[in-house]
Amino acid sequence: MKKPILYIVIPCYNEEEVLPITSRDFLAKIYELIEKDKIDGKSRVLFVNDGSKDKTWEIITKLAQEDEHFIGIAQSRNRGHQNAVLAGLMEAKDKADITISIDCDGQDDINAMNEMVDAYLDGCEVVYGVRSKRDTDTFFKRFTAETFYKLLYAMGAEVVFNHADYRLVSSRVLREFADFKEVNLFLRGMFPLVGFKSTSVYYERHERIAGESHYPLRKMLALAFDGITSLSIKPIRIITGLGTFISILSFLAIIWTFIMFYMKNSVVGWASTISIICFIGGVQLICLGVLGEYIGKIYMEVKHRPRYIISERTWDQKDTKQN
Ligand code: UDP
Ligand code: MG
């Protein structure tokens, strides 16, 4: 079997402190896998500079001159981690057979890559890197991160628990993924939508080697919101449900006001006023929910996601035009 070409895709934003250290480890990993005969010599470490304001790009260009296994691309401006990973994956999809996306701060254990490549060689097209422990995270980070996954799950977004963006993806999956044209990116929730055989490998997450996290609570919340709204229209369903519930309540309230009215327990005008308020409130919420349902449908339509993806055919794939 032909050895796969691996591209390690690494988004970098203001990482001048860590890049000189971690780039050595990534290169050593590429050499190790080549020596072990697992991957092809044409494998590369692909850095994606996400509009850094420090010396990150200078470091990347210098690394690229030093060793041919280092290559880099730069985004014209800072677009955020998800877009940087996407840019790297799309750049790699036609050159590589497999890609592994990983952060450049040394937090994710690069030794898990061996297992990932093995899983690919065993037939998996997507391998999720899952954090087995979060001991090195602060209590706050661990708590917010775990709440984040639970919230996503409750809202109907299917994600692999405790998996961030450390994952192996084959070029075949990436070619299908390229048809997911949406602008709101939430990669970890989108790859499960593409399908294909997948598995998880477990690793321990370390502390950042140097520098500071670019994901403060504010950005985590924004990512969670993006995740929920880009993968699910459950929040709209909640409005419709709430509307129906309040309408039922207001209907009961109307009956109650009539009873009060006939029992002469109310002042003149009270019954009619309360009835109208309840009625309008309920009807309005249902209308909002119905409108929301249509907006949700439009939202899903404008994404132009592929409606089906074929993974297997009984005839020789080479006979047909590549999809
Ligand atoms: N990153 C990026 N663009 C950004 C923010 C972050 O490319 O706007 C990169 C960053 O260089 C790192 C990865 O995304 O390689 C994860 O960021 P960070 O380590 O700050 O997040 P955390 O691990 O704390 O969640
Ligand atoms: Mg980090």
CA 226 to ligand 2 center in whole angstroms: 19
Atom nearest to 103 CA in ligand 1: 15
Percent over 90 (pLDDT), the chain:
44
Residue 60 CA to ligand 1 centre (angstroms): 16
What is the pLDDT, as a whole number, of residue 196? 92
| Cβ 199 vs Cβ 168: under 8 Å | no
Q: Which tokens is 261 given?
A: 């009215």
Q: DSSP strand E in 134-266: where? A: 163-170, 198-204
Tokens of 178: 């390229």
Q: pLDDT band at residue 323, thresholds of 50, 70 and 90?
A: very low
Provide the pLDDT for residue 289: 83
Using DSSP's 3-state secondary structure scheme, residue 202 falls into: strand
State residue 135's pLDDT score.
Answer: 67
Q: How many CB atoms lie within 10 A of CB 105?
A: 23
CB neighbour class for 250 (10 Å; exposed up to 12, middle 13-18, buried from 19)? buried
Say what the pLDDT of residue 257 is.
79
Looking at ligand 1, which atom is closest to the CA of residue 85?
A: 7
Collapse the DSSP code of 27 into the 3-class scheme (helix H, G, I; strand E, B; otherwise coil) and give the result: helix
- Classified as helix, coil or strand, 241 is helix
pLDDT, averaged across the chain: 86
| Nearest protein CA to atom 8 of ligand 1, as residue | 80
261 alpha-carbon distance from chain centroid:
56
Distance CA 52, CA 14 (A): 5
What is the mean predicted confidence (pLDDT) over 258-277? 77
Residue 83 forms beta bridges with which residues?
Answer: none
pLDDT at 111 over 60: yes
Widest CA span in the chain: 92
Given a cut of 70, whether residue 84 has pLDDT beyond it is: yes
Q: Name the more confident of 165 and 225.
A: 165
Specify the pLDDT at position 136: 67
H/E element holding 72? strand 70-74
Q: Which residue has the higher pLDDT, 152 or 13?
A: 13
Q: In what order do the strands lie in the sheet with 126-133?
A: 70-74, 44-49, 6-12, 98-101, 163-170, 126-133, 198-204
Please state, in angstroms and rounded to a whole number, the distance separating the CA atoms of residues 46 and 101. Answer: 9
- 75, 146, 214, best to mutate for ligand 1 pocket (most atoms within 8 Å of CB): 214
- Closest CA to ligand 1's atom 19: 213
Q: Are strands 163-170 and 98-101 parallel, antiparallel or unpaired?
A: antiparallel
Which amino acid is it at 280?
A: I
Report the alpha-carbon distance of residue 123 to residue 291 in Å, rounded: 45
pLDDT of residue 319: 57
What's the CA gap between 230 and 213, in Å, rounded?
24
Instruction: State phi, psi for 117 to the nearest 5 degrees.
Output: -65, -40
- What percent of the chain is modeled with pLDDT above 70? 95
What's the token pair of residue 213?
Answer: 């996290």
DSSP labels for 130-159? Answer: EEEE-TTS-HHHHHHHHHHHHHHHHTT---
pLDDT over threshold 80, residue 138: no
Residue with the larger pLDDT of the pair 241 and 320: 241
- Which of 17, 32, 26 is CA-nearest to residue 45? 26
- Closest residue by Cα to atom 2, ligand 1, is 81
Q: Which two tokens mark 64?
A: 């690229």
Name the amino acid, one letter, at 46: L
Name the band, by pLDDT with cuts 50, 70 and 90, for residue 64.
Answer: very high
pLDDT at position 260 is: 80
**56 within 8 A of 19, measured Cβ to Cβ:** yes
